[in-house]
Amino acid sequence: MKRERIYLDNAATTPLRTEVGEAMRAVAEDSNFNPSSLHAEGRRAAAVLDDARERVASLLRATRNEIAFTSSGTEADNLALIGTARRAQPGAHLVTTAIEHHAVLGAMDRLRDEGFEITVLPVGASGRVDVDQFAAALRPSTVMASVMYANNEIGTVQPIAELARVARARGVLFHSDAVQAPSWLALETDELHVDLLSLSAHKFGGPKGVGMLYTRRGTPLAPIIHGGGQEFGRRAGTPNVAGIAGLARALELAVLERPEQTARVAGLRDRLERGIVAIDDVQINGAGPRLPNIVNASFDGVESAALLIALDLAGIAVSAGSACASGSLQPSHVLAALGSDGRRHGGAIRFSLGTTTSESDIDRVLAILPAVLAEQRRPVTPHGGMGRV
Ligand code: PLP
**Closest approach atom of ligand 1 to CA 12:** 8
CA angle 134, 164, 289 (to 5 degrees): 75
CB 78 within 8 A of CB 234: no
Q: Verify that 221 and 240 share a domain, yes or no.
A: yes
Residue 118's DSSP bridge partners are 94
R_g over Cα of the chain: 22
Domain boundary among 253, 287, 306: 253
Given this model, what pLDDT does residue 181 score?
98
Q: Is 384 a domain residue?
A: no
Q: Verify that 156 and 273 share a domain, yes or no.
A: no
Which of 377, 366, 357 lies closest to 302, judged by CA?
Answer: 377
206 lines ligand 1 (CB under 6 A): no
Cα–Cα distance, 306 to 111 (Å, whole number): 37
Q: Verify that 51 and 193 share a domain, yes or no.
A: yes
CA 387 to ligand 1 centroid distance, Å: 37
Q: How many domains does the chain have?
A: 2
**Closest approach atom of ligand 1 to CA 323:** 8
Q: Verify that 364 and 263 share a domain, yes or no.
A: yes
Torsion-angle region of residue 173: left (phi > 0), alpha (psi -120 to 50) or beta?
beta
Look up residue 84 and give its amino acid: T
Given this model, what pLDDT does residue 385 score?
47
CB 269 within 8 A of CB 295: yes
Q: Verify that 265 and 152 share a domain, yes or no.
A: no
pLDDT reading at 386 higher than 70:
no
| CATH number assigned to the domain comprising residue 30 | 3.40.640.10
Which of 230, 104, 266, 235 lies closest to 179, judged by CA?
Answer: 104
Q: Verify that 168 and 201 share a domain, yes or no.
A: yes
pTM of the model: 0.95
CB 9 within 8 A of CB 320: no
CA 296 to ligand 1 centroid distance, Å: 18
Given this model, what pLDDT does residue 216 score?
98
Which of 381, 351, 379 lies closest to 365, judged by CA?
Answer: 351
Q: Verify that 184 and 47 share a domain, yes or no.
A: yes
Which of 294, 296, 297, 293 lies closest to 279, judged by CA?
Answer: 297
Cα–Cα distance, 318 to 7 (Å, whole number): 7
CB 283 within 8 A of CB 256: no
Secondary-structure percent of the chain, ordered helix, strand, coil, rounded to 5 = 40, 15, 45
Q: Verify that 149 and 280 share a domain, yes or no.
A: no
Q: Verify that 245 and 307 share a domain, yes or no.
A: no
Length of the chain: 389
Q: Verify that 186 and 203 share a domain, yes or no.
A: yes
Which of 162, 170, 161, 168 lies closest to 136, judged by CA?
Answer: 170
Residue 173's DSSP bridge partners are 144
Q: Verify that 148 and 189 share a domain, yes or no.
A: yes
- 186-211 per-position pLDDT tens digit: 999 999 999 999 999 999 999 999 99
- 81-129 per-position pLDDT tens digit: 999 999 999 999 999 999 999 999 999 999 999 999 999 999 988 899 9
Given this model, what pLDDT does residue 378 score?
84
Q: What is the DSSP letter of 310?
A: H
Q: Tell me the average pLDDT of the chain.
A: 93
148 lines ligand 1 (CB under 6 A): yes
Q: Is 388 a domain residue?
A: no
- The protein residue with its alpha carbon nearest to ligand 1, atom 5, reads 152
Q: Which residues of 25-60 are buried (b: 16+ CB within 10 A; e: fewer)?
A: eebeeebebebeeeeeeeebbbebbeebbebbbebb
Q: Is 382 a domain residue?
A: no
Domain boundary among 222, 253, 284: 253
Q: Is 386 a domain residue?
A: no
Q: Is 226 a domain residue?
A: yes
Q: Verify that 163 and 224 share a domain, yes or no.
A: yes
- Of the pLDDT bands very low, low, confident and very high (cuts 50, 70, 90), residue 388 is very low
Domain boundary among 237, 253, 269: 253
Q: Is 383 a domain residue?
A: no
CB-based burial label for 307 (10 Å; 0-12, 13-18, 19+): buried
Q: Is 199 a domain residue?
A: yes
CA 294 to ligand 1 centroid distance, Å: 15
Which structural domain, as residue segments, surrounds residue 189? 18-253
| CATH number assigned to the domain comprising residue 318 | 3.90.1150.10
- Of the pLDDT bands very low, low, confident and very high (cuts 50, 70, 90), residue 325 is very low
CB 205 within 8 A of CB 174: no
100 lines ligand 1 (CB under 6 A): no
211 lines ligand 1 (CB under 6 A): yes
Q: Is 70 a domain residue?
A: yes
Catalytic positions: 324
CA 179 to ligand 1 centroid distance, Å: 6
